[in-house]
Structure 1
Amino acid sequence: MDRQILDASLIANEVIDSWKKKGEKGLICKLDIEKAYDSVDWQFLMRVMQKMGFGVKWREWIWSCISTAKFSVLINGEPVGFFTSSKGLRQGDPLSPYLFIMGMEVLSALIRRAVEGGCISGCRIQRGRGQTVNISHLLFADDAIVFCEAKRDDMTFLSWILCWFEAASGLRINLAKSEIIPVGEVEEILEMTVELGCKVGQLPSTYLGLPLGAPNKAVCVWDGVEERMRWKLALWKRQYISKAEELHS
């Protein structure tokens, strides 16, 4: 709770800096979830809520909210017929983000258990006064990123986790849009990407719309961020001008 989008980007860059300073090799797995809201299994959400301690009444309320919605198709601008759905969460529903995060917490728990069992390594970074913290993954809404050592076994176990998660939740990782980014000179990187089934990326990249793994003094990597901000400012300016004209008239 209360996490900001900048926090995840800063932590991801801290992991990369730690690997580079120690001269270690690592892998960054950027995972894209396919049709995130549309494929969530309702029964899966009910089981997750039960494990989290939600009572029967709460679960019944949530089930009523997600299962009684009806949809219609526009034909020539007119709604024709109504039909129900058997899975998925509605875009724009204020409950949907919270329910989706509950589902993603299962993926987080699977990765944590894999790290505790020594199946996925993560990255240890200094926290001050000799203390270290192991960063294995970051989840922000439907954006997921996993940090592993450059080992084929890590990739194999991660692929198993993703298969288990898909079978339980209905949420599928779009491997065509996912990528593995090597940090340092990683041998057999192509074999590792085949193990997971995605493509090879490279640094610098982007994460949550912000630069990832870019040199500190590389100004050009911020061009995309600057362009998006200029576009948003121009849009806000047009909106305020139009409102001012309405008030003046």
Structure 2
Amino acid sequence: MAVKLDTSKAYDWVEWNFLRQMMIRLGFDERWVELAMEIVRRATYSILINGELKGFVQPSRDDCLLFCEASMEEGHQLLDILSRYKAASGQAINRQKTSLFFSRNTKPEVKDAIKNMLGIRIMNNYEKYLRLPMVGGQSKVATFKELQERITKRVMG
């Protein structure tokens, strides 16, 4: 089973102009307001791996793909992990934009049970992720034809 997560971050809901105007109306100095706005607009996080700085990441609204076995036990573990993630990061899962994908070998009753437990919809076969089809047919040529056309168009100008 694959889970396409969409996280809701606090800055997804904030209108930057509203925040700026609110700080000005509260009497903050214009220079301080501009500095604060620069920080929230261009936030980056550094990453430490085994105590070594490995670079910086600029937060975005990209989705995350998780893969696990299509079982109730794995579903419960996923719920626990997502709950801990929310508690640690403040980022909740947007269940309306998150979706499940199952292999065709998964029994319909298992799909329904997991869907109901997680409160997440099942992705349709025709949906795309990052503008690529989530499900390929027998013909790889037909599946990736649109991608080939976009690349050709970009290269040819």
TM-score between the two structures when normalised by the length of structure 2: 0.62
User: Is the counterpart of residue 149 in structure 1 residue 69 in structure 2?
Assistant: yes
Q: CA separation in 2, counterparts of 1:227 and 1:217?
A: 14
Question: Per-residue deviation at 1:229?
Answer: 9.1
Does the 8 A contact of 2:95 with 2:119 survive in 1? yes
Does the 8 A contact of 1:182 with 1:189 survive in 2? yes
Question: Per-residue deviation at 1:174?
Answer: 0.2
The equivalent residue for 1:176 is 96
1:128-207 equivalences in 2 (<5 Å): 142-187=62-107, 188-207=110-129
Does the 8 A contact of 2:9 with 2:90 survive in 1? no
Q: CA separation in 1, counterparts of 2:40 and 2:151?
A: 27
Give the CA RMSD over aligned residues. 3.7
Q: CA separation in 1, counterparts of 2:152 and 2:4?
A: 24
The change in CA–CA distance for 1:169 and 1:28 in structure 2 (over 3 A counts) is same
May I ask how many residue pairs the two structures share in their alignment?
Answer: 126
The change in CA–CA distance for 1:194 and 1:165 in structure 2 (over 3 A counts) is same
Q: CA separation in 1, counterparts of 2:151 and 2:113?
A: 36
The equivalent residue for 1:90 is 40
The code of the aligned residue for 2:142 comes to A
User: Is the counterpart of residue 218 in structure 1 residue 142 in structure 2?
Assistant: yes
The equivalent residue for 2:9 is 35
The code of the aligned residue for 1:192 comes to I
TM-score between the two structures when normalised by the length of structure 1: 0.41
Q: CA separation in 2, counterparts of 1:162 and 1:222?
A: 36
Q: CA separation in 2, counterparts of 1:183 and 1:213?
A: 9
Q: CA separation in 2, counterparts of 1:34 and 1:167?
A: 13
Q: CA separation in 2, counterparts of 1:178 and 1:225?
A: 28
Q: CA separation in 1, counterparts of 2:88 and 2:69?
A: 27
Does the 8 A contact of 1:205 with 1:211 survive in 2? yes
Q: SS of the residue aligned with 1:193? A: helix
Q: For structure 2, list consecutive stretches of 5 or more residues without a partner in the other structure.
A: 14-18, 34-38, 50-59
